[in-house]
Amino acid sequence: MFLKSDIAKRFCITNVRFLPVPAGFWPTYIEKQSIDVAWGGGPTLFDDLYVKGLLRPLETKLALDAASQVPDRFAGMPLKRTDKDGRIYWVAAAIASFGFTVNTEVAQQLGFDVNKLNSWRSLASDDLGLILVQYGVPALAIANPLQSTSNTRIYEIILQAYGWEEGWRVLTLMAANARIEEGSAIVRDDVINGDVMVGITIDFYGYTAESLNPACRYILPQGETIVNGDPIAVTKSTKHPEAAEAFIAWVLTEGQKIWLDPNINRLPANPKVFETPEGQKRSDLKNAFYRAMKAKVIEFNDTLALETEFAMQLYFVATLVDQHDLLQRAWTELLKAYYIDHRIDEATFKALKQKLTDLVKYKDPVTGEERVFTLDDALRVNKILKEHINLKEAYMNAWREAAKQKYEEVLSALGS
């Protein structure tokens, strides 16, 4: 679409080459070769490039006029990075939020009140677990964090919204209540197809679900989510700064219509797109845009998320994915013993639920010390793994075994 535009013709741009490079390699690529535009990924990545001096400010009237159409802030979060002189180094091209999508038809069939699904904690509830006990199939779908960046971000949001220890209790019971898929698109499709009642999704997957199946509803857990912009910027190594800014100007104006495509369903960063004929057909996305703008969000610490991310993903996989069958069995047996068979009292139920969701105690494969996977420990392990990736399996094995032992002890306490 860009190459057919008047802007492309005016600046004699006949080709755009896209390089899909993992985020960690962006600084090297920008330093070692001429890259014109950086696009995709969240504010953390772009702030890192900005701090390293790898972005150049927008200078042309064309780009600055386009950027002025994007709000400075959205749901309390910045949609532009400016220096002390007011120069713009990156600007959001789209907006993202994180929540879950509910299939109201499935909820009705299960006799479940969807209004109960209003927080991350509600996905970790006994009620959802009892659906699993009653029907033998989970009502929730989530994704393996190593296969989904959006689900990784949701897990990080939960850990910051509730605090590290309580966050892991919520994540453990969410996993116990769920089927764990190998990707977020599968989670979305599970909800659309009615295979589950609810799945955790980035916003545009939720909007796609709503448009493909009117029974679906995307929910933002109020006060427990983040809303941010996905930036675009000109890099320091560009040899074509004017053409790069022309591309950005188009993305922020005419190009915003692409987000409205029913196969994409992203929230645009420029609300003027809703005044176009294409925008007027998408009152659903316009409503979603203004709902997201008013969302209550948490103060999210991107740096902390980055400093624990790899260790968090591996711990999640080792304890909740690799030992999923055992975790789910222990959880369903516990629910059955208390709610169905009335074999245990409330105090015992709470104590065993606490044990099931405790952070694991494990033997550190490097030092041989007994450790608990606290936030400090995650920061420590993340540093070790960055420098010694070969230790990944050793840590995962230690966590896997510790989780197995913990789940088996719960089953043993229940006489199972």
Q: What is the pLDDT of residue 41?
A: 77
Q: What topology is assigned to 96-219 in CATH?
A: D-Maltodextrin-Binding Protein; domain 2 (3.40.190)
Homologous superfamily of the 6-95+228-293 domain (CATH): Periplasmic binding protein-like II (3.40.190.10)
Domain boundaries in the chain?
6-95+228-293, 96-219, 302-413
Separation between Cα atoms, residue 58 and residue 246, nearest integer Å: 10
Residue with tokens 């090297």: 28
pLDDT per residue as tens digits for the range 192-227:
999 999 999 999 999 999 999 999 999 999 999 999
pLDDT per residue as tens digits for the range 147-199:
988 899 999 999 999 999 999 999 999 999 999 999 999 999 999 999 999 99
pLDDT per residue as tens digits for the range 76-111:
889 999 999 999 999 999 999 999 999 999 999 999
Helix/strand/coil percent split, the chain, to 5: 55, 15, 30
CB-based contacts of 273, cutoff 8 Å, min separation 6: 256, 257, 259, 260, 279
Separation between Cα atoms, residue 41 and residue 43, nearest integer Å: 7
Candidates 360, 369, 353, 356; CA nearest to 396 is 360
Q: At what angle do helices 392-413 and 375-387 cross, to 10 degrees?
A: 150
96-219: same fold as 6-95+228-293?
yes
pLDDT per residue as tens digits for the range 248-271:
999 999 999 999 999 899 999 999
The angle subtended at Cα 117 by Cα 116 and Cα 123, nearest 5°, is: 115
pTM recorded for the entire structure: 0.87
Report CA-CA distances (Å) from 147 to 42, 78, 180, 182, 339: 18, 28, 11, 6, 35
